[in-house]
Structure 1
């Protein structure tokens, strides 16, 4: 089985598990989120081995806050599941759109010293995909009209999360945050953008903006 097939199967499985636990909600989703946060913190701790202790302390909160945000969205928001799916759609669309556009038209490097494969064309593609798919989902589910256009800015936020993790890995001299996910590296590699988007949307819900 080639790498692309393994990566595709693993990706579909991860999406299915994520959506299923989000749909069930309650303790099932809480345990799932806690497991993700724990895995990310374990990988974060491995990356920053030998760094200042402040990195491990910061990592604890970098994992905790998005986890609480996801649970807050699911349980406290009137359309919790639908908004969670919006968060997932925007994050996944950023990755997929960015990869497709970058692979096809990518010429101009976005942050060559941090992540040489990232391009401005990929970022734009991710923003377009996140904006369109996020907007369509929000419209179809009757979510806050603000979400019709918020997908594109959130794609930028997701990309910033990706670049932040890439910068950590480059400093540590590692390619992936771990090897828990076949064809995808570590858990941190897969949710680096989601951590930022979840935090931003969770804050918006908490503040009453959504």
Structure 2
């Protein structure tokens, strides 16, 4: 197999799995409410399960328990006011500190990211509405897709080779440009196109930081993928790491800068 062929060898499998994920995601976002809450909780629980498996591979039972607790914490948090949601999410993280045997700081930081981001996505769908949720997902998706193709077609200097050896400056920049296009698309007629373009690019960068953070964890523990749950993509953390970063970034924009600045 030539280098060119091997470069694209996983494309068909990735596209098939990606189509299935898109179908499930679109259905969940469209239906919203309880369906979306359960979907987000299950995804978050599985991501924490993957995280604990990577950090403590010799305690599979602990990974299952902490994943279940995390998913339950996210689900309950979507039904209570913020004042009570934050302690619930914190409890879902802190309960694992005494169970994870190594890299507890990584467990604490990344599991907190998972739970906060999951709760944040539920908040976006429930309180900001369908349009903003679609915008957030599209920013992350086009960032990933543009980065994937630009990185393989153009190549060039690596963005951060010691942490994420496959990520190039070409792919990173293509992700920002694609996200800006999403901002233009959603900003037409809103009266805040410039601000929405800026927000789209910032969340694109946040999604890339989520990807880099997960890559750093995998390199530290010496694994290629967080799990094998998704054919061609690895695990849920491999696929949703960008969404984690973007969702947390959106919470920062909302709390710190009064986002959203327009109505979709």
TM-score using structure 1 length: 0.91
Are 2:226 and 1:177 aligned?
A: yes
Q: Which residue, out of 8, 12, 33, partners 1:26?
A: 33
Larger radius of gyration: 2
Aligned equivalent of 1:123, options 166, 172, 176: 172
Structure 1 unaligned spans of 5+: none
Cα distance in 2 for partners of 1:56, 1:149 equals 31
Which residues in structure 2 correspond to 1:18-167 (within 5 Å)? 18-49=25-56, 50-77=101-128, 80-139=129-188, 142=190, 145=193, 146-167=195-216
CA distance in 1, matches of 2:33, 2:255: 19
RMSD across aligned positions (CA): 1.8
Gaps of 5+ in 2: 1-8, 57-100
List structure 1 runs of 4+ shifted beyond 6 angstroms.
none
CA contact (8 A) 1:70 1:202 kept: no
User: How big is the shift at 1:57?
Assistant: 3.0
TM superposition shift of 1:200: 1.6
Q: Structure 1's 139 and 20: CA in aligned 2 closer, same or farther, altered over 3 A? A: farther
Deviations 1:126-179 (A, max 9, x none): 111111123313437x48542233222221111111111101000100000010
Q: The residue matched to 1:150 in structure 2 has which SS?
A: helix
How far apart are residue 81 of structure 1 and its match? 0.8
How many pairs were matched up?
A: 206
Once the two structures are superposed, what CA deviation does each residue of 1:88-139 show, in whole Å capped at 9, x if it has no partner?
Answer: 1010111111111111212111111111111111110111111112331343
Task: Name the SS for the 2:165 alignment partner.
Answer: strand
Provide the C-alpha distance between the structure 2 equivalents of 1:31 and 1:83, rounded to a whole number of angstroms. Answer: 19
Aligned to 2:239: 190
User: Which has the bigger relative contact order, CA under 8 A and spacing at least 6?
Assistant: 1
